[in-house]
Amino acid sequence: MAIKVKLREKKISGNRHSLYLDFYPAIPHPETGKPTRRDFLGLYLFDKSKNPFDKQHNKETLQLAEQIRQKRENHLNKPEIYTGYEKEQLKIKEKSEQNFVEYFKSLADKRKASNHDNWVSAYNYLNTFTNGNLKFANLNENFCNAFKEYLLTTKSNKSIKKSLAINSAVSYFNKLKATLKQANIDGYLSSDLNSKIKQIKTDETKRNFLTIEELNSLVKTECNNPLLKRAAIFSALTGLRFSDIKNLIWGELEYIEGNGYFIQFKQQKTKGVEMMPISEQAYSLLGERKEPTDKIFEGLTYSAYENKHLAKWIGLAGITKDITFHCFRHTFATLQLSKGTDIYTVSKMLGHRELKTTQIYAKIIDQTKREAADKIHIDL
């Protein structure tokens, strides 16, 4: 007697219907061996879907459920035609039921140092957006674009009064795309979803910086965290990132007669080995020389608590711009270009792999000149 397999629905919480297979007559349960009529698929439909995201979800979920029903019916009634392709599709179906958010976190846990911290931050936003529960089967372009919009409009986890910085949104969304790409390689996705999703345009990025007058004002202003102050001013004089400053050791600093001080180090972000000259003023911020393996800025940390010290210091100096630690690197770049240093030299000093990354600062200088020219008005 042929076994009939029907696709049915059962109402569950959250205005949803759970999908399951109904077998007639009953079949042996794969684990207990006892007769069973039902096999819940772990898939659900939204009731009265009104928005495009829910409608697309329902359409794709029904298509997937019907494919599963057909293959299950074939397997029960005609096991000899249950091909290798169908078996492979069942494996994909099993993987598609797993939690994408947990998979994302597993990739984040494999990262190291500052890259790990960035992945964890991206995971926190994804976890909040999905409530920690998103099956691979429910991943589609609509979801990815909805998450992109969320990143561009949500508040920062570090300060509920501020929106998430565009730089952070770009970085976190790129982590999602990287995870989609890896999921396709690992067989969790049946198609390359990553290739269908557009990145957030980096040309939307706004880079704040300090003028030389504002930087001098900060030098004269006390900070509750003197170590943070020294590191920030050092960044403005060298262009180094926070992660590179934090990891600097005395053995990487050398003096070459007739040429001055140099730092030889591997960039935390790009992994490129750099030999960077630094000024006498920058060197004067480093303090007494210690053992070669000792960190120059021992005890320097990045946290919401330290950010409060930074914000207070900026405010006490009378500066109203939204300044983060990374803005001191932007300050180095813009001041160098405004003083006539050619863009190729600045690009090399910043450790940029491509000149186009540095060109954003040239545009900032051009805009600053435009604003300066427009400040003078006379009666004609």
Q: Which two tokens stand for residue 350?
A: 């910043």
Say what the pLDDT of residue 204 is.
44
- Spatial separation of the C-alpha atoms in residues 44 and 130, rounded to whole Å: 15
- Spatial separation of the C-alpha atoms in residues 74 and 3, rounded to whole Å: 10
- Nearest to 43, CA basis, from 9, 88, 5: 9
The alpha helices in the chain, defined as continuous H runs, are 52-77, 84-96, 100-110, 113-130, 141-153, 166-185, 212-220, 226-238, 242-247, 280-284, 304-316, 327-338, 343-350, 355-373
Say what the pLDDT of residue 122 is.
93
Say what the pLDDT of residue 266 is.
64
Residue 358 CA, distance from chain mean position? 21
Say what the pLDDT of residue 29 is.
79
Tell me if 109 sits within 8 A of 161, measured CB to CB. no
- Spatial separation of the C-alpha atoms in residues 287 and 230, rounded to whole Å: 10
Per run of 10 residues, the mean pLDDT along the chain (length 380 residues) is 89 87 87 85 82 82 90 76 57 78 92 81 93 89 90 82 82 94 88 89 67 93 93 93 89 88 70 77 91 92 80 92 88 88 85 75 71 66
Residue length, the chain? 380
